[in-house]
Structure formats: C-alpha cells, structure tokens
Amino acid sequence: MDFDFTAAQEAFRKDVRAWLEANVPDDLRGRAFAASRADREEVRQLRAWQKRMYGAGYVGMDWPPAFGGRGASIVEQIILYQEMAQAESPQFVNRGGLSMLGPTLMRHGTPAQQARFLPGILTADELWCQGFSEPNAGSDLANLQTRAVREGDTFVVNGQKVWTSMAHVADWCFLLVRTDAAAPKHKGISFLLVDMRTPGITVRPLRQITGEAEFNEVFFDNVRVPVDNLVGKLNEGWSVAITTLAYERDLLTFIRHISLRNALRRLVRLTKERGRSGDPVVRQKVAHLWIGEQALQLNGYRSLTKILRGGQPGPEGSTAKLFWSQVDQELAEVATEVLGPSSQIAHGSPWAADEGQWEFYALLARASGIRAGTSEILKNILAERVLGLPKD
Ligand SMILES: Cc1cc2nc3c(=O)[nH]c(=O)nc-3n(C[C@H](O)[C@H](O)[C@H](O)COP(=O)(O)OP(=O)(O)OC[C@H]3O[C@@H](n4cnc5c(N)ncnc54)[C@H](O)[C@@H]3O)c2cc1C
C-alpha cells in the first residue's frame, strides 16, 4: 500500500488547510474536543459551522454527486479529517444525519425521500436525532414497544424513547416502531421519519454525569406520521436499522476520531505545560495512546476504503467502536493523572485547564463504552459474527 500523497492530493490538503485556518471560528476552536450539543446556542454555532463547511464543499465529500456530495476519493476524505483535527475544528454537529441516516436513505429510501431529506442533512438545516432506545430496549433493541398503527395515510405512534441525544434541538427523528405486535420481535418493526414538531411529541431532557442534558426522554402520544415517511417496507425495519447501526459503529467512529485526535494533541501540550513530559511513566502512557490513535486511524481507513468502494460496513465495525471507546477512556484517565486534583475543576473557573474541557471529557468518556452499543455487546458480536464462536 502506498501511503504517499500525490501532488494533486497535496494541493487539496493545502487548500483545505488554508481554508480551515481562515474559517474555524475561534470560540469553536477552543471547544474542539469536548464541544457540547446540549447548549442551544452552541448547537446554533455548530450548525452554522457545518453549513459554512458545506458551502465550501467539505461536507459529504464522499457522497455521490447525485445526492449532493462530491464523490471524492477515500484519500481526500482522509485528508479532510486530518486537517480538521489539525485545525482543531469540531466534528460535524449533524453527525447522526451524516453518518447514519444519510447512508441508510441512500440504500433503503425512495427517490422522493432522498430528494427531500439528504440536502438538509448536509447543510445542517435539519438536525436529526436517533429514536431507537427505550426503557426496556437498549442492548436488546428488538424488544422495542413503541407502537405505530396505520390509519388512512398516517401511522399513529404511541410510546416512549429514551437517551435520545439532541432530541431537544433536533428537527427530525429516525424512529423505530413496532407495527406488528403478533410477529416475532425482529419481524414486526418499521423505520419512520418523524418531524419533531408534530403535535403529541414531548421531549424531557435528562441530566447527565457531565452536568449537561444532551440526551432526553421522548414521549409519543397519538403522533401522526405520513405513510410516505416509512423507510423500507412495512415490518421490515429491522434490516434498515441494522444498516444504520453498522454505519453508526463504523463511520461515526471515524468522525468521532477528529475529537480524539484533538484531545490527544491537547494532552501532549498539557503534559509539556505541566512539566510532566520528562516523567518516563507519563511519556510511556502518552506514547501508548498515540499508537492506539494511529491504529484506530489505519483501521478506519480500511473500513472507509471498503465503504467508498461500494461495500457496506460489516460486524468488524464493532472493533473500531470498541477500540475507540477504550482509547478515549484511557486518554481521559491520563489527562486526569497529568492534571492531578485540578482535573476536577470545571468550565467557568479561572483555574480550569483548557477551560474545563478535561473535567467534561473525563466524565463524558464514561459513556463511550455504552453509546452505539455497549462494550459487552460489541464483544459478543465480534465473538459470534467475526470469530465464529458459539452464540451468547
Ligand atoms: C451518551 C449516550 C447517548 C445516547 N444516545 C442515544 C441516541 O441518540 N439514541 C438512542 O436510541 N440511544 C442512545 N443511547 C442509548 C444507548 O444506545 C444504550 O444505552 C445502549 O444500547 C445500552 O442499552 P441500555 O442503556 O438499555 O443498557 P442495557 O441494555 O440494559 O445493558 C445494561 C448492562 O448489561 C449489559 N448487557 C446487556 N445485555 C448483555 C448480554 N447479552 N451480554 C452481556 N452483557 C449484557 C450491557 O453491556 C450493560 O453493561 C445513548 C446512550 C448514551 C450513554
């Protein structure tokens, strides 16, 4: 494999770098690795940032031109992510739309759904949330109980979702519902696109360990959804959801990698600033993180290559998600160790390092082994579907 870039690719890198240098807003650069999606004002800024990047041609670069993308190669996509990390740009705010729903619609959506929804995902004019988990359906997602009953041209939805990130700021939700209660649990599920402004939807924020409320409970009380918003066939939503989850574990991990790189750069800076870079144990830990980050990146390139060549993310995407969560949590621990007791000083205090982002990062990292599939579940998937071991 040739890791050298061609002259044209280096020219592209130069252009991206110059553009990012001139355009990443200073206040977002400061929040590069722990940008919040709880605060409405910050979400507004992040939306504007994604839109600006889209205007410059840097969002959905790998999407086919027919869907509003540039049909760019894997290499340009990689260069973009590298340069976003280098410039301390935050990740795209509409990442659920970009990395999960977009690819799902390209594969399972009707031409009308693709034309209606893909542009708003790219520009972040329409933010999406993922309505999958329920109080009794997390790891065992197929156990979901939110029901949808067809009445004329609409489905009437009743039930509850939980842990729905960004539901409080989202315009739309991709929602899993049960449409046939009598069928075996994986068979009677459908995939709907729901306007979050529809009457009957109540969003209640849940406060997290970080102190913020970035995820929510969402209640559906006789919510009417047009039948045109059904993605895939009725009662066959499970296979649509599997596509979404595979992209979540694979592609989304790749996008999250921008934040991880940003955090690692900051950690190196922090280690030097705190006079800890001469400590052999700290040096070893930082070097170990660096190796992990590089391995994650190269694995990400492999998956991305497969996807851009027309393949689909497979169960091996679970490796990326699992390993990312481990490196992420290890990084938070090393930063906490380097900072010592002051690692607990939060945003708002003049004594907080990097404006309190480390305190936030350390707490947020607890969720890395839960969201997008817990580590135990991912290990089961790898054992059964990649290694071919007996079923759980
Ligand atoms: C920050 C954050 C954001 C999230 N955002 C969203 C979102 O936007 N949309 C959404 O739909 N969901 C979201 N989630 C929910 C997430 O997908 C679920 O929390 C996750 O799937 C686990 O489900 P659960 O919480 O019900 O835990 P459970 O499934 O009840 O699991 C509890 C524990 O039991 C273990 N366990 C369960 N089954 C097995 C088994 N068979 N073998 C071994 N161990 C097992 C699990 O690993 C876990 O440790 C988010 C979660 C977090 C933390």
CB neighbours of residue 272 within 10 Å = 11
Nearest Cα to Cα of residue 164 among 115, 234, 219, 120:
219
147 lines ligand 1 (CB under 6 A): no
Atom 25 (ligand 1) nearest CA? 138
Higher model confidence: residue 324 or residue 309? 324
The band of 39, judged by pLDDT with boundaries at 50, 70 and 90, is confident
163 lines ligand 1 (CB under 6 A): yes
The catalytic site residues sit at: 248
Q: Where in the chain is the domain with CATH 2.40.110.10?
A: 128-235
Is residue 337's pLDDT more than 60? yes
CA of 5 to the centre of ligand 1 (A): 40
Domain 7-123 has CATH 1.10.540.10: yes
Higher model confidence: residue 305 or residue 172? 172
Query: Whole-prediction pTM value?
Result: 0.92
Cβ(346)–Cβ(360) below 8 Å? yes
Q: What is the pLDDT of residue 3?
A: 62
Structure tokens at 361: 């990062």
380 lines ligand 1 (CB under 6 A): yes
Cβ(334)–Cβ(282) below 8 Å? yes
Cβ(102)–Cβ(124) below 8 Å? no
- CATH of segment(s) 239-386: 1.20.140.10
Mean pLDDT of 9-22: 96
Higher model confidence: residue 45 or residue 303? 45
Cβ(282)–Cβ(338) below 8 Å? yes
Mean pLDDT of 335-358: 92
Mutate to test the pocket of ligand 1, among 128, 207, 374 (most ligand atoms within 8 A of CB): 374
Q: What is the pLDDT of residue 313?
A: 78
Is residue 30's pLDDT more than 70? no
Mean pLDDT of 75-102: 89
CA of 164 to the centre of ligand 1 (A): 12
The band of 175, judged by pLDDT with boundaries at 50, 70 and 90, is very high
3-class SS of residue 382: helix
Mean pLDDT of 160-165: 97
Is residue 253's pLDDT more than 80? no
CA-to-CA distance for 80 and 230, rounded, in angstroms? 34
CA-to-CA distance for 171 and 127, rounded, in angstroms? 5
Is residue 76's pLDDT more than 90? no
Q: H-helix or E-strand containing 242?
A: helix 237-247
CA of 373 to the centre of ligand 1 (A): 6
Is residue 392's pLDDT more than 80? no
Give just the sign of the alpha carbon dihedral 29, 30, 33, 35: negative
Q: Where in the chain is the domain with CATH 1.10.540.10?
A: 7-123
Report H helices in 98-231.
102-108, 111-123
CA-to-CA distance for 81 and 258, rounded, in angstroms? 6
Is residue 32's pLDDT more than 70? no
174 lines ligand 1 (CB under 6 A): no
Q: What is the pLDDT of residue 2?
A: 56
Percent of the chain's residues with pLDDT above 70: 97
Mean pLDDT of 178-187: 96
206 lines ligand 1 (CB under 6 A): no
370 lines ligand 1 (CB under 6 A): yes
The band of 232, judged by pLDDT with boundaries at 50, 70 and 90, is very high
Q: What is the pLDDT of residue 297?
A: 84
Q: Where in the chain is the domain with CATH 1.20.140.10?
A: 239-386
The band of 72, judged by pLDDT with boundaries at 50, 70 and 90, is confident
| Matching CATH number, 128-235, of 3.20.20.70, 3.40.50.2000, 3.40.640.10, 2.40.110.10 | 2.40.110.10
Is residue 110's pLDDT more than 70? yes
The band of 34, judged by pLDDT with boundaries at 50, 70 and 90, is low
Higher model confidence: residue 304 or residue 221? 221
Is residue 61's pLDDT more than 80? yes
